[in-house]
Every structure is written in structure tokens, then in C-alpha cells.
Structure 1
Amino acid sequence: MKFSLSWLREHLETTATLEEICATLNTIGLEVEGVEDRGAILAPFRTARIIEATQHPNADRLRVCQVDAGEGFERVQVVCGAPNARTGLHVIFAPPGTFIPASGITIKAGKLRGEESGGMLCSLRELGLGEESDGIAELPDDTVPGQSYALFADLDDPVIDIAITPNRGDALAVRGIARDLAAAGLGELKPWLTATVESRFDTPIDWRVTFPEACPWVLGRSLRGVKNGPSPEWLRRRLESIGLRPVSALVDITNFFTFDLGRPLHVFDADKLLGSELTICRGAGETFTALDGSEHVMTPDDCVIADSRGVQSLAGIMGGAESGVSETTTNVFVECALFDPVAIALAGRRHNLHSDARQRFERGVDQALPPAALEAATRMILDLCGGEAGSVVSAGVEPAWQRQAHLEFARLETLGGLSEAPDHAVHLLERLGFAVRERDARHVVVDVPSWRNDIATPMLLDQRPDLPPARAQAAAQGAIEIDPEVDLVEEILRLRGLDSVPAISLPLRSAVPLPALSGRQTRIAGLRRQLAARGFLETVGFSFVAMDQAAAFGETPADLHLLNPIAADLDQMRPTPLVNLLAAVRANAARGYPDLGLFEVGPGFDADGQKLIAAGIRSGHSPRLPG
């Protein structure tokens, strides 16, 4: 999960430095995998203006430029080969000693075809910021020479990359990360409110759900008269900072909310949909072309969104190319739904499709957010693309996600090993969004927020089939009772920092350490030592050999024949390691090493199963052993 520092500060009111933020993220279990600080890489580059550009006297394709790059470089001569280098142009200047990211070279002062050159005028590609171009970057005419280009272009914005564990779907949102940092005391979470967008017409498309197990709740609304085009600069930069390629305003808005709130959305071109109804149903063998161009055959286990013509989206994973928006799109339908995490994970694996939406749905998204997220997305579409919004249509109902968890304060020390004041423990939970339902001196009961799908969720134990029913039921009931409490203990511990938990040694089972090896392991190790002491070298061979070789040492049962061998001559499970040892002796003798002793302690196979066999072989002349 990547996010920029400025994006984080849209949700978190904090004065903390980048170093403090990264240290706190590591402390609370959101491990920082890397920080990309483009501002530091681009620090030497500065804005400049070409005072004068004249033809190079010794080269047709070069120009000699007098450049004003601010203090210390008020008039520096630079030889430039860009065809657009001209007098009065505002440019990006790299002084001597500057490392150029795209080419990996360091600029040096010198001469080009006999003319002094004290730096370089750069294109955006050379800074690693743009595509291939025919000339140097052109800055606005009112640019002041001598500024840091990173500051001028708002590129002094570090990007943090954190690892997310599978249970923390809420941390796949910038707001979720800000909430955790605020709870850890690194600032205050800014309020997030969205106003309801007034509808101007009745949405002509309705929902029908025939696969409620995979999609319990779906909302949508039409917008007409929109104008799709490039996103504004702030949105483009925000997406580019985390490695996403801006596509168009409509697509970029959905990507923005996927990362900002952890709320995947999809926008259909309404004029490309056939009929007045979208159905969420099972697949039925249709061929579906995804937005990435890949084709997939839908199965009855897949949840799809279909119009009267056919499948238009592999629900929760990727939309279809047939109904995707383009620069000519004027009417859209926005979908916002809840999908079953297991169904999404299995479908994504089945079709080998990976997307940011799948990553969030299969970990669990905020189950109460869809109405507010749809309003926020509608408002942004209207602000950036114009048009007017229709009414909200929906199918299904909001899942009964509400649940409670309890905590005995004493458990913080007995389970977590850390003494914590009850008031502070409750304060930490409240900052994470838990609401106190009841509390006394001994315990607290809290309501779990809608975005924490990992807290107090129903458990499914994979118990031994031979476990007595009474004991199995008691174990299952005990897990149901203790699991929510353990979840709350974990939350408090991670906000305090796991490093603050004192180290305690595990209790000893006995004063005398138990044997590290079993009797069988001891005998096998002793056998290896004896064989090695007699001049044998140990080998390790494949457990499968050629059938004709195996037949020389006994029977070759059909059930020990490999149906899909890694090689044509390795198609039978070996009856004894001697098969491999003889092959090794033959190979060594063919290469001029006939005198050797080899052994292997390994498996042999027959109709009764697998046995452990010690086998040894000598060939040629053996050295005389003393004694």
C-alpha cells in the first residue's frame, strides 16, 4: 500500500516528521517497506531562464545558451542539443555534480565541440518524470529562476510503502492509516463528511440480485451530461505518486476513492448498456473481455454484473471493455457494492486476475460506507466532469455487521504481558473508532466499528474429526468467547508498541532438558557416522528411477508408477536406494573414478508402503582400513 505524505495529511492533522511517521507505522504493525523521496533525488535541479541562445560555431545541431539559474549561476554557459532551446525560455537546469536519474550519469563541467558548458538543460524524461520528448522541458513564463525544481513542481512529497497483513483491509485506505496513526498519538484524525447530492432525474437503470450470497447489497446512480477528459493536475499527481497511470477523470476518480477510503467503485458508460436493468448473478459460460484486454469464460461460481446483452463486469474484480468509459462518454452509471470476500478471492484466483478492487474486497471493506462513498464520488464527478445526478437505486440490504467485543482489563497483563491503566486502554480503543457500550472497574464492552472486519468475527475451527463431540463443542464455545477479547488486547498492545512488552521466558517443563532427538533419529545419525567412518561418502538421490532399473531389484507395482514424471526415465518409485547408488558408480567409472564407496539412508517403496533403508556400495579398490 503506497501513499504520499501530503495525501496522508489530508486526513491526519499532524506536525510529525517523515521519520516519526515511519517509526510509528512500524511500531503499530504497519511495516514500512520503503520510502521514495523524489524531492531528495531532484534537490540539485533548479529553475532557470535562457538569457541568450546562439548557434554553436562548430556544430549544426548544438546551441550555446547563456543561462540564469539564480544565485551562484547568474550567467552560466550551457551547450544544448535540444531543438526547442531558445532565448527567453524558462527551463530546468542541472549544475555540475548533479546525478541524472534517467541516464545514471553525473554532470561535469567541460567543453562540447570547443565551447565551454557548465551544466545541463533537462527534459522531464531525464528527471524520470515524463515520457520520451524531442526537447527540454518548457516551464511557465512567470517562473522565477533559481528555485528548487522539486519545490516548484510540488515533488517534495515522499511516498511511503507499507506492508498490509491479510486481516487489515481497513489499512488499504489512506484514511485507515491516518486513523491508526492518530490513535497512536501522532495527531488528530480530521473529520470526513460528505453532503448528499440532490438528484435531478430518476435513474433509468435498476438493480436485480439473484446471487445474494456473493453480493448482499448494491447501490448505483446515473449521471448525465458529463464531460470526460484529463484529470486536474492535483489528481494526476496524487495517482502518479503511488504508481498509478492517470487514464481519464472518470476512471481516476474511482481509483482515487479506492486508495483514499478503501472503497472500490466502477463506472459504466450508460449508453453502452443494453436494457433498463443490471443483474448481479452467477456466470453461465459467457466469454468476458476485461478492461485489461484479457478474455475469461465465466463459471457458475463467478459473480458477474450483466445487462440484457451479457456480462459487463466480473463483479468486485474488473469491469468489462465493452461498457468501459472513454473520452466520448457523456452518460454514466456508478456502481458501489459489497461483495463476499471468499467469492472474490476464489474468482480472482480462478481467472488469475489481480486488481486493487480485488485486493480490498477479499480482505473486507467498510460495510456501512457505500451510501456515503457513492455521494462523495458523485460530488467529485460533478465537480470535475459537470453534468447532473440521478436518483440512487439499490438492491439488497446493508448486512448486519454490528457486533460487540468485551475486555477484562486484567487480560492485558495475563494475556498480553503489559500492565495498562483501564482509562488509557479505553481511550486507545475509542481513538480507533470503538464505541463504549458499558464499562465498570473490571471490564468494558465496546461496539466494533464497521471498518474493522477482523475484530470479533465468527470463527470456524478446523477441529480433529475424532474429537469427542462434547469436547469439540466446548472448544468452539471457548474460542467464540475469548477471540473478541484477544482482538482488543492485540489492538491495545500494538498501539502501545510491541517493543514495550517485557520479554518473559517460557516456563521449563523440567529441570533436565528433554532429548532433542528421538531414539529412531539417534540410531539413524549413528548409522550415518559409522558408514562415513568406514570411508563411504553420503549421497542423496531421487526417490523415482527408471522402471527397468527398478525391476532389477524387485516388483514394480502399478500404483508406484508416476503418471506425470519430471523426466521420461524417472517414472517409477524406487524399491531401494541401491538403484541410485549403482547409477552413480557407473557415472563415476565412466569419468575415470572407479574406486569409491557410496551410501544413502533414504526411502524405498513397495506394495506395503515406504520404508527407510540404509544402502552402501563399494567399487574398484578400497583403501586398507586399520584394525
Structure 2
Amino acid sequence: MKFTLSWLREHLDTDASLETITDKLTGIGLELEGIENPGAALAPFRIGYIIEAVQHPNADRLRACTVDAGEGPVSVVCGAPNARTGLKVVFAPVGATIPANGMVLKAGEIRGVASNGMLCSARELGLGEDHDGIIELPEDAPVGARFVDYKGLDEPVIEIAVTPNRGDALSVRGVARDLAAAGIGVLKTWEPEAVPSKGSSAVNWKIEGTEACRWVLGRTVRGVKNGPSPAWLQDRLRAIGLRPISVLVDITNFFTIDLGRPLHVFDVAKLRGDTLTIRSGHGESFLALNGKEVTVTPDDCVIADAESVVSLAGIVGGEETGCTETTTDVFIECAWFDPVAIALSGRRHQVASDARARFERGIDAALMPAALEAATQMVIALCGGEASETVSAGAEPDWRRTAKLRFDRLQNFAGADIARDEAEGILRRLGFGLASSDEDSITVHVPSWRNDIAGKGALEPARVLTPDVLERVSAGVAVIEPEVDLLEEVLRIWGIDRVEPVSLPPLSAVPGATLTPRQGRALTVKRLLASRGLSEAVTFSFADHKVAELFGDAPESLRLVNPIASDLDQLRATPLITLALAAQRNAARGFGDHGLFEVGPAFHDGVRGGQQVVAAGMRLGETPRNWLEPARGVTALDAKADVWAALTALGLPLEALSVTTDAPGYYHPGRSGVVRQGPKVVLARFGALHPTLIRALDLPQHAVAFEIFLDAIPEPKRRKKAAPELSAFQPVRRDFAFVAASDVAAESVLKAARGSVRELIAGVSLFDVYEGEKMEPGRKSLGVEVVFQPKDRSLTDAEIEEASAKVIAAVTKATGATLR
């Protein structure tokens, strides 16, 4: 937000210095971004008088001029066609820098004639686009005076940073109001007089089938003369970086900055029909004032005449109905548009404008009638003409609401010792009206321009992002605690820098754990997976919904209405989605053999608590070649090994886990598994990716993945560690080869063996699986090693044979397998 110091003083009666004003702006939350002084670059330029201008003796298009700039005659060669004797001009002496091109003037000769300076055009001074001739000043311009002083250009331009909630601060009057509340001067009264109406309006309003506009006003001004704006208006707009266009357009830009009230003007002669309709788009296209073609959608709010769309409402108008020098009748639009609708349309069409910046932050709904009167006054004053009656559609939005402040909260919550009278005075100066009060609190009416202050009866936007957001935040405003907003207002005006800093009290003499168990699990898994050769990736938590559909369902509840990019519109149901996209990019660049992992969120619905932390990993291509073993394609067992290693690092007893074959559809149905603790708790999934998914994402042929659900990992029991039981006796290892049906899981055989002689068995492991020509069809051989660990004496041969028989019997009973 930019404004000049003199513009600010039109709303603020103050004699405070520039430094005092800018320091206070930062103190009240309108942070100073910078101060520019356009006059500083023009300081060397003086008002000169051409004593004589004659034809250059050696050039047809040059004039040899004798110029007096207050320090005696100077010879200057000038190529401007309007350089003539007796003209008052802008003179640049030797050593001056020309703003337009940065050229530093030096004394010299041009075609044999001395030239010790330059006569300047508007473009060369950065004051406009006119370059047809040098600037012509009035006869009463004082020779030798500084040009910046004569034109009033030597004043600072202040730029502030405005937070998204402070739409009211995107206006000079809003800034002046805050400064006045902070004790920097007095806010001047502003109340425009009503412009007499003469006749009916040539254009009427109609709102049809949209909630994006609730109220719109307008009036026709007949007999106007459009053209360049007066110098004061051009200078004011140019100082803040806006290009003057024509007086009608410049008036709308003026009020956008001055009052924060965007307006638009239509050329009545270019409108088809006598009614402008505010409605949803129907896929029409129109050429916008920014020179770009805009194709509207049913989600956009537009303004249309009898034949076509003439404006993307609240964002940008159409070129076809814009005002030009031939405009004689103009229709002024003044509307209230829904902030969310404007924000979404602006993002959808990638159109940024000063109007959009204000509408999407919320404008002052109560200001509309007064702003229309003020704009009409200025149009008639600068363009002539006469105004019609005001026409409207819809009704004023019910913005009225109240908020309550308890005075003791200023001390026990904000830590500021502010007297009751002082707090009430700050709110009153900010525009809050007294509704009621008692000994401990005050209830105030929130002013119409403070859309960021919540309270009872708060104005709700017509559109919200999702139904669950509507339920949780009541359209973005209703669940915000209004008392906190009032505390913030009192504190920032009183001075946050005056709040005395106080150290937080120590919680205990002995500090607690730095990490929560959940954070500890995440770090443990990260270290473990990195040690196993996987590279950590950090990806977005959202992806293209079309890619998400490859990994199962992509519900609307996880769809983003306002994504940062069109291909990042879906919250991911698993980190494998974004890991697969990263792997795809790596493979496309020649890195097909690699492994990635990420510990991040996965989402299963759009409500609070609808996400979980998942450690996901992916291996692709072939294993690294080394002298121990040749390279081979990665398999589902590699992914299972990663899962088993991670669960072991987290302290889970692997013998208490089971593996089922009901992995999701993005895994290969015959090469995947689900790790469970009991029948219901799912700890992890692993397996080869489905061939269809591999082809769709153009991944290497060998691609496996895993997911570990860290939130499902049970908390370790806190108990005293007992001394380890270390037997002094030699363990006995026995190998068993069981013949079982092909569909018998090896895990079932191991589980049965482990439970056969619990007091004696120290470990059971699978060391071989054989299916081949020496086995019957539908049968396989499983090699199992069982470790018997005696604790009080050495085992006899008979005891070993008895234990082995119990192992065989238990496996046979549980799985039907027989000893080979």
C-alpha cells in the first residue's frame, strides 16, 4: 500500500514529522516497507527562460538556445520542435542525472556549438510519456527556482505492508484512522454531500442466480467530457506507481486508494440493453482491460449486458465497454462482492488487480452510498454532466455485530497494565461504538469497515472451502474469539513495545524429555532407513488427484478448492503417491536404481484428526553390485526386510506379529503383505507395486514399497529392566524340513513351532523354501531351524528327541505339514 504524505494529511489533521508518522505506523502493525522521494532525483533541475532560440548553423533539426536558469546565460543545443524564444522550460545543468535513462550530463559541443545543459521533456523526467517536445511552463514560473518545489513534487511516498486481515488499511483513510487512534493527529470528518438527481438512470441492475453479490448501486452521469486528468490527480496517482489513463478511469483508481472502495465505469453507449445483470458465468469469453482474453466459468461472478459478459465482477472490466475520449454518458458501478468468491475467481484466472486485493479482504459495506455520491461529485466536477437517480439491486449485507472485552484480560492475558478509560478510548477512536458496559467488561458495536473483527452476528461469506470447514469455523469468522480481536486492537494502539517482558516460569527443576514418544519413533525410523541405503525425501502433502486415483480412491473430502497449483489439488492418502512421482522424475533422468523414504502425513478424511504419520519407502531397479553377490532386481522381500528392521528398532517382538495377504490394490496381489498385531491393528504394508501402476507412472520394472504406520505402534511399557538371563549351557540347534501345501504360509509353521515347547525354545527361523521337480505338485518344502536353550542343565539325547517330537506334532496339527 503506497500513499504520499500530503494525501495522508487530507484525512489526518497533524503536524507530526515524517519520522514520527512512519515509526508509529510500524508500532501499530502497519509495518513500514520504505520511503521514496521522487523529488530527490529532480532536485538539480531548475526553471529556465529561453532568452534566444535560433536555428543551429550546422543542423536542420537542432536549435541553438541561450537559457537563463538563475545563474546567467547558458548555451544549450536542443532538438525539440517547440524550443522557442521567450519560453519557460525545465533546465538540467551539467552534472545532473536524467531519471529516464540515468545519463549524467556533461559539457560539450554539438556540431560546433557549445551545449552546457539540457532542456527536458516529461518522459525524460519520468513524469509522463510525452516526448514530442520539451515541457512548457506558464509565464509566471519563477526563473531559477527548483522545479520540484514549483510543481510540489518534493514529498515522500510511504509504503506499508498490510496483513491479509486488514482490508481497511488498504486505504488512505483507513491508515489515517489508525494513526489518529494512536495519537498522531485527528481524523478529519468526511461526509460527501448528496448530488441532486435529474431523471432516471439509463441502466438498471439485476442480480440473478448468484450469492457472490448481495448489494449493488449505480447511477448514470450524462453529458460528461472524458480526457486527461487534471495535473493534481495525475501527479497523485503517478507518485504511487499508477499510470494515469483518463479522468473517468483515474477517478475510480483514486477512490480505490483513497477510501478502499473499488468502483467501475461503463460507457453507456456501448452497453446492449438497459439492464446489467450480475450472475454466474456460462463459459463466455471477453477481452479484459488488461489486454487478456478471459473465459468465465459457472463458478465465476460476472456482469453481463443483454448480449454478453462485460466484466469479471470485482476483478477486471471489459475492454469493449470501457470509457474512452468519445464517452459522453457513463454508468458508475458500486457493489459488494463476496470475498471468497472474488479470491477464487482471481486465483482461477490468474488476474491480480487493486480491486481484487480489496474485495477478497472484505470492504466496508456501509460506505457504498457515500462513496457513490463522492465519486459522482468528482465526475461532475472534472468532467461536467448531470447525474441520474441511484439504482440498486439486492440489499445491504447485515454486517452489524457486537464483541465483548473483559478488562482483567488486558493484564492476565496480554500482560499490559491498561486502565479501563484508556482501553475504552482506544476502541472509541478506532470506531467501535458502546453497546453496553458493566463493572468488569464492555460490549461494543464493531464498525462496518473492520471485517476481521469477529462477533455475534458476523457477516458470513457466501462460499466456503468444504462442508467440514463450514462446520468447524462457521464460514471463516464465527468461531474466532472476538475478545482476542479486541485485545489485539487495544494492545497495538497502546503499544505492544510497552508490554513488559516476563520470563516463563520453570516447569520443574528437572527438565522433561525433549522428544515425545511419537517424535522419537519418527527419528528412530529415519536413522534406520537411512542406514539401510534409502535416501530421505521431503515432498508436498498433496498431489494431482488423477495420480492419487492410481493409489485407490481420491475422495472429494480430500480435494483442495484453492490449490497452489492445478496439479497439487488432492491431499495424499499415502506418502507413496508423492514418493512415486519423485522416483519417476529420478528414473526419467537416468537414476533408475535407487531407494527413497519419507516420514510424513497421510490423510484419510478432511476433518481434524483425519491424518496419521506414515514412514513410507520405495526401492526401484536393481540392488547394488558388489563382490559378495551379483546385482538382481529388488523383490517384495527387500521391502519386508526394511519393515522388519524398522519394527525391530522400535522394540516390537516380531514373533508376536502376523502377515496377511490383503494389501491394497496398488500392490501386486501375489507379492505383498500386511503386518498385523492381532487381528485388527495394522502396523505396516509392503510388497511389489502393481504392474498397472508401474506402467502408468513409467517406473522401472522392479519397484517395491512399504508403509509403516507409526501412530499404530504401541507405546513401550515402562517397567524396570530385569537382569538378562544368560544360560551357562550350550544351546542345541535342530533343522526340520516340513512338507506342506503350497498355500500354507511359512509364518504359520514358525508360529506353531515357536509355541510347542515355550520354556525351552529360544528361537525359530526359516532358512529354506523349495518348490520344484522333486516335490509333488501343490506341495513345498520349508526348512526351519529351532534353537533349544537349556537353563539349568544340559539336555540329554532323549530330552532333545522328545522336544523335537513336540515341535513336529505342533506343526502338523496347526498346518497339516509333515516331516520330510
- 1:82 Cα offset (Å): 4.6
Instruction: Verify: 1:5 aligned to 2:5, yes or no.
Output: yes
Distance in 2 (CA, whole Å) between partners of 1:353 and 1:381 is 27
- 1:261 Cα offset (Å): 0.8
SS at match of 1:322: coil
Asked if 2 retains the 8 angstrom alpha-carbon contact of 1:541 and 1:580, the reply is: no
What amino acid maps onto 2:33 in structure 1? E
Could you tell which deviates more after superposition, 426-435 or 409-418? 409-418
Of 579, 585, 597, the residue aligned with 1:566 is 585
Instruction: Verify: 1:195 aligned to 2:293, yes or no.
Output: no
Of 152, 155, 161, the residue aligned with 1:154 is 152
SS at match of 1:323: coil
Alignment of 1:218-617 (within 5 A): 218-457=216-455, 483-516=481-514, 519=520, 562=581, 565-566=584-585, 569=588, 574-575=594-595, 606-609=704-707
Q: Residue 786 of structure 2 aligns with which residue?
A: none
- 1:40 Cα offset (Å): 2.0
Change (3 A) 1:269 1:110: closer
Distance in 2 (CA, whole Å) between partners of 1:282 and 1:488 is 37
Distance in 2 (CA, whole Å) between partners of 1:584 and 1:34 is 60
Distance in 2 (CA, whole Å) between partners of 1:4 and 1:370 is 25
- 1:395 Cα offset (Å): 1.4
Could you tell which deviates more after superposition, 572-581 or 388-397? 572-581
Alignment of 1:7-156 (within 5 A): 7-54=7-54, 64-70=64-70, 73-82=71-80, 84-109=82-107, 117-131=115-129, 133=131, 135-156=133-154
1:359-410 Cα distance to aligned partner (Å, 9 max, x none): 1100000011111111111111112222221111111111111111111111
SS at match of 2:221: strand
What amino acid maps onto 2:260 in structure 1? G
Q: Residue 214 of structure 2 aligns with which residue?
A: 216
Asked if 2 retains the 8 angstrom alpha-carbon contact of 1:562 and 1:573, the reply is: no
Q: Residue 794 of structure 2 aligns with which residue?
A: none
1:257-304 Cα distance to aligned partner (Å, 9 max, x none): 111111111111122222232221111122232222322222111111
What amino acid maps onto 1:91 in structure 2? V
What amino acid maps onto 1:287 in structure 2? S
Asked if 2 retains the 8 angstrom alpha-carbon contact of 1:561 and 1:572, the reply is: no
Distance in 2 (CA, whole Å) between partners of 1:437 and 1:276 is 44
Q: Residue 167 of structure 1 aligns with which residue?
A: 165
1:94-115 Cα distance to aligned partner (Å, 9 max, x none): 3343333223233344566666
Question: Identity of paired residues, percent?
Answer: 57
Change (3 A) 1:55 1:389: closer
Change (3 A) 1:423 1:276: same
Asked if 1 retains the 8 angstrom alpha-carbon contact of 2:593 and 2:623, the reply is: no
Asked if 1 retains the 8 angstrom alpha-carbon contact of 2:202 and 2:268, the reply is: no
Gaps of 5+ in 1: 467-471, 545-556, 586-602, 613-627
Change (3 A) 1:91 1:367: same
Distance in 2 (CA, whole Å) between partners of 1:342 and 1:376 is 28
Asked if 2 retains the 8 angstrom alpha-carbon contact of 1:562 and 1:572, the reply is: no
Gaps of 5+ in 2: 540-575, 598-618, 627-645, 647-685, 687-702, 711-820
What amino acid maps onto 1:25 in structure 2? L
- 1:576 Cα offset (Å): 6.4
Could you tell which deviates more after superposition, 250-259 or 118-127? 118-127
Distance in 2 (CA, whole Å) between partners of 1:6 and 1:524 is 62
Change (3 A) 1:584 1:87: farther
Aligned residues: 566
Asked if 1 retains the 8 angstrom alpha-carbon contact of 2:537 and 2:596, the reply is: no
Could you tell which deviates more after superposition, 564-573 or 387-396? 564-573
Change (3 A) 1:308 1:189: same
1:317-343 Cα distance to aligned partner (Å, 9 max, x none): 111222222221222221111110001
- 1:486 Cα offset (Å): 0.9
Q: Higher RCO, 1 or 2 (CA under 8 Å, sep at least 6)?
A: 1
What amino acid maps onto 1:21 in structure 2? I
TM-score by length of 2: 0.63
What amino acid maps onto 1:175 in structure 2? R
SS at match of 2:192: coil
What amino acid maps onto 1:320 in structure 2? G
Asked if 1 retains the 8 angstrom alpha-carbon contact of 2:46 and 2:146, the reply is: yes
Distance in 1 (CA, whole Å) between partners of 2:529 and 2:229 is 70
Change (3 A) 1:305 1:83: closer
Distance in 2 (CA, whole Å) between partners of 1:123 and 1:528 is 70
Distance in 1 (CA, whole Å) between partners of 2:122 and 2:103 is 15
TM-score by length of 1: 0.81
Distance in 1 (CA, whole Å) between partners of 2:440 and 2:171 is 35
SS at match of 1:369: helix
SS at match of 2:485: helix
SS at match of 1:213: coil
Distance in 2 (CA, whole Å) between partners of 1:2 and 1:222 is 31
Change (3 A) 1:207 1:482: closer
RMSD: 3.8
Distance in 2 (CA, whole Å) between partners of 1:306 and 1:6 is 39
Distance in 1 (CA, whole Å) between partners of 2:579 and 2:183 is 63
Change (3 A) 1:238 1:295: same
